[in-house]
């Protein structure tokens, strides 16, 4: 099956479901979440809520079916009543948890499910770029699929069936991918980064070509042709939405691929460099060190895999 750029990037960054859980909230509730790393998303299964990000532009109302992406790890509060003193997440009593769902103030007012993802690679800005600190996503056309996944996650979290942890992790990843799809499909234009570039069909065509054949000796005119644009307009548009030139992007993508292959330890540095379009190990090593911060051999040694 043919891959696609979103799948490519996620497979390299290896999102790990650090936490997946839910909140059954009642009364005048308010919960505060502290600064963290990675990406969070929340989906409102029932009820309504307000969410406010530290340093943001104000509170945002969330209705049933809304999903929010929080890509930058800032402190935030989700509440029914913004005047209520928030309960720190870490102070929710253990007795209030049933499986993966916390019942606050007896529950019954709102149900919110969410996931927190950490990434294996330090180059997560390739995925996140300059995404806003919070993005609300809603899509009537795909609400049935999202509803199914959320309902299944809720039941798995509340139950104690064998394999439920793995099922929840997979559902959480499915919902993260769906949230990123919604971000792409609804014309999020106000930012710079790989996701914004992928949202531009012409630029996405060039990115897809580079991902499909990273060892090709791509040039600016050939990539512009893939995008159906003139060379000058393509170069300017790519830089504007991706934050780098097409060739800089290609080099970085190649180095991320090389990093992943070096970590596996079943290929030589020479074979990797050749397959990625480099005529010599020296040229490959120079590019790798510039992008990744260390030589290919040192990088491989850091993972415990060194191949000649």
Task: Indicate whether 306 pLDDT > 60.
Answer: no
**Check: CATH 1.20.950.20 for 200-302?**
no
Residue 67: per-residue pLDDT: 86
Residue 187: per-residue pLDDT: 55
Residue 307: per-residue pLDDT: 52
120-159 confidence digits (pLDDT tens): 766 677 777 667 888 887 766 666 667 788 888 888 888 7
Tell me what the mean pLDDT of segment 171-180 comes to: 83
Q: Which residues contact 178 (CB under 8 A, 6 or more apart)?
A: 67, 142, 145, 146, 149
192 or 212, greater pLDDT: 212
**Check: CATH 2.130.10.10 for 5-185?**
no
Residue 39: per-residue pLDDT: 86
Q: Residue 179's Cα: distance from chain center in Å?
A: 9
203-257 confidence digits (pLDDT tens): 999 999 999 999 999 999 999 999 999 999 999 999 998 889 999 999 999 999 9
- Average pLDDT over the chain reads 86
What are the CA-CA distances from residue 60 to residues 109, 136, 138, 187, 282 (Å)? 18, 9, 14, 19, 52
Q: Residue 259's Cα: distance from chain center in Å?
A: 19
What are the CA-CA distances from residue 119 to residues 116, 125, 185 (Å)? 10, 11, 23
What percent of the chain is predicted at pLDDT more than 90? 47
Torsion angle, alpha carbons of 251, 252, 255, 257, to 10 = -110
Candidates 107, 85, 109; CA nearest to 96 is 107
Residue 132: per-residue pLDDT: 82
What percent of the chain is predicted at pLDDT more than 70? 90
Residue 55: per-residue pLDDT: 82
Residue 69: per-residue pLDDT: 86
23-55 confidence digits (pLDDT tens): 999 999 999 999 888 888 888 999 999 999 998
Task: Indicate whether 18 pLDDT > 80.
Answer: no
Q: Per-residue confidence at 285, pLDDT binned at 50, 70, 90?
A: very high
Tell me what the mean pLDDT of segment 99-112 comes to: 92
Domain ranges of the chain: 5-185, 200-302
What are the CA-CA distances from residue 249 to residues 93, 120, 211, 225, 291 (Å)? 47, 20, 10, 17, 11
Task: Indicate whether 284 pLDDT > 70.
Answer: yes
């Amino acid at each position: 099956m043919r891959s696609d750029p979103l799948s490519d990037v996620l497979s390299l960054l290896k999102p790990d479901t650090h936490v997946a859980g839910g909140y059954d909230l009642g009364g005048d509730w308010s919960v505060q979440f502290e600064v963290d790393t990675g990406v969070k998303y929340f989906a409102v299964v029932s009820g309504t809520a307000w969410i406010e990000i530290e340093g943001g532009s104000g509170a945002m109302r969330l209705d049933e079916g809304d999903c929010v992406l929080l890509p930058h790890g800032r402190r935030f509060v989700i509440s029914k009543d913004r005047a209520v003193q928030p309960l720190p997440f870490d102070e929710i009593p253990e007795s209030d948890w049933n499986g993966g769902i916390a019942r606050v103030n007896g529950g019954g007012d709102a149900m919110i499910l969410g996931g927190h993802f950490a990434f294996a690679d330090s180059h997560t800005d390739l995925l996140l770029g300059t995404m806003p600190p919070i993005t609300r996503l809603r899509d009537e056309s795909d609400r049935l699929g999202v509803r199914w996944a959320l309902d299944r996650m809720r039941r798995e979290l509340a139950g104690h069936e064998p394999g439920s942890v793995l099922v929840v992790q997979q559902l959480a990843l499915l919902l993260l991918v769906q949230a990123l799809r919604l971000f792409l499909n609804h014309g999020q234009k106000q930012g710079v980064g790989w996701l914004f570039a992928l949202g531009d069909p012409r630029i996405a065509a060039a990115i897809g070509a580079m991902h499909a054949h990273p060892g090709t000796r791509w040039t600016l005119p050939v990539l512009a042709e893939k995008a159906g644009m003139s060379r000058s307009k393509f170069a300017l548009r790519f830089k504007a939405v991706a934050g780098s030139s097409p060739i800089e992007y290609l080099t970085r993508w190649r180095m991320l691929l090389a990093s992943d292959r070096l970590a596996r330890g079943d290929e030589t540095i020479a074979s990797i460099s050749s397959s990625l379009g480099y005529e010599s190990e020296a040229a490959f090593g120079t590019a790798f060190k510039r992008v990744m911060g260390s030589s290919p051999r040192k990088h491989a040694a850091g993972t415990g895999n060194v191949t000649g």
